[in-house]
């Protein structure tokens, strides 16, 4: 019985993987299967959150030193495309200046992933919104340290 069950599961996985390959790019599938930079960052300089149209939530944390992003992590309760967007974005922004990073757009992230199905392009926007919220929080904290108001 166990051998038959294992074989059934293996067949189901092959079918699902084949269906994913028809819809998603290799980059999206690779990011989803082995995401980078997942998890909360306890000592972040800024954190951000965004809620998507599909009810997914994305959280991002950043570290900034001398105007450069040195680390970025994420956590989401979203789908595979959302996970892929968070993973790819966190890797892409490391080393960018905060000014450069604020100019990254959802279409840039979609391009980095070699495309997303139209009904999942909002996942890129969700990741970008959470990331920029984290950068704004970082700036607010920095301003608070210089006499500004912390959020």
CATH of the domain at 22: 3.90.1010.10
Q: Is residue 80 part of a domain?
A: yes
Give percent above pLDDT 70 in the chain.
82
Q: Is residue 150 part of a domain?
A: no
Q: Is residue 20 part of a domain?
A: yes
Tell me: the pLDDT tens digits for 53-72? 888 999 999 999 999 999 99
Per-residue confidence (pLDDT) for residue 35, from 0 to 100: 94
* DSSP 8-state class, residue 121: T
Q: Is residue 73 part of a domain?
A: yes
Query: Quick check: 10 pLDDT over 70?
Result: no
Give percent above pLDDT 90 in the chain.
70
Q: Is residue 32 part of a domain?
A: yes
Q: Is residue 63 part of a domain?
A: yes
Per-residue confidence (pLDDT) for residue 149, from 0 to 100: 47
How far is it, in rounded angstroms, from Cα 80 to Cα 19? Answer: 13
The average confidence (pLDDT) of the chain is 87
- CA 102 to chain centroid, in Å, comes to 15
**Close Cβ partners of 88 (under 8 Å, ≥ 6 residues apart):** 27, 31, 109, 112, 113
Q: Which residue has the higher pLDDT, 150 or 78?
A: 78
**Residue 99: which domain range?**
2-145
Per-residue confidence (pLDDT) for residue 6, from 0 to 100: 63
Query: Quick check: 4 pLDDT over 80?
Result: no
Q: Which of 46, 40, 42, 82 is nearest to 64 (CA)?
A: 46
Tell me: the pLDDT tens digits for 105-145? 999 999 999 999 999 999 999 999 999 999 999 999 998 87
Per DSSP, the residues of 30-59 read HHHHS-SSBS--TT-SEEEEEE-TTS-EEE
pTM score, whole prediction: 0.84
Say if residue 18 is exposed, middle or buried (CB neighbours under 10 Å; 0-12, 13-18, 19+).
exposed
pLDDT band at 16; cut points 50, 70, 90: very low
Per-residue confidence (pLDDT) for residue 15, from 0 to 100: 43
Q: Is residue 125 part of a domain?
A: yes
Mean pLDDT, range 14-40, rounded to an integer: 78
Q: Tell me how many domains the chain contains.
A: 1
Q: Is residue 151 part of a domain?
A: no
Mean pLDDT, range 6-23, rounded to an integer: 55
């Amino acid at each position: 019985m166990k051998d038959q069950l294992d074989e059934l599961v293996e067949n189901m996985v092959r079918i699902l993987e084949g269906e994913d390959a028809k819809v998603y790019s290799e980059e999206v599938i690779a990011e989803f299967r082995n995401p980078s930079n997942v998890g909360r960052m306890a000592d972040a300089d800024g954190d951000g959150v965004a809620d998507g149209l599909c009810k997914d939530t994305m959280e991002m944390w950043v570290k900034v030193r001398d105007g450069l992003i040195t680390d970025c992590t994420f956590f989401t309760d979203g789908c595979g495309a959302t996970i892929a967007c968070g993973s790819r974005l966190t890797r892409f922004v490391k080393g960018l200046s905060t000014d450069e990073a604020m100019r990254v757009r959802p279409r840039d992230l979609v391009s980095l992933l070699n495309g997303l199905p139209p009904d999942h392009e909002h996942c890129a926007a969700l990741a970008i919104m959470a990331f920029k919220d984290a950068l704004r929080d970082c700036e607010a904290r920095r301003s608070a340290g210089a006499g500004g108001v912390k959020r």
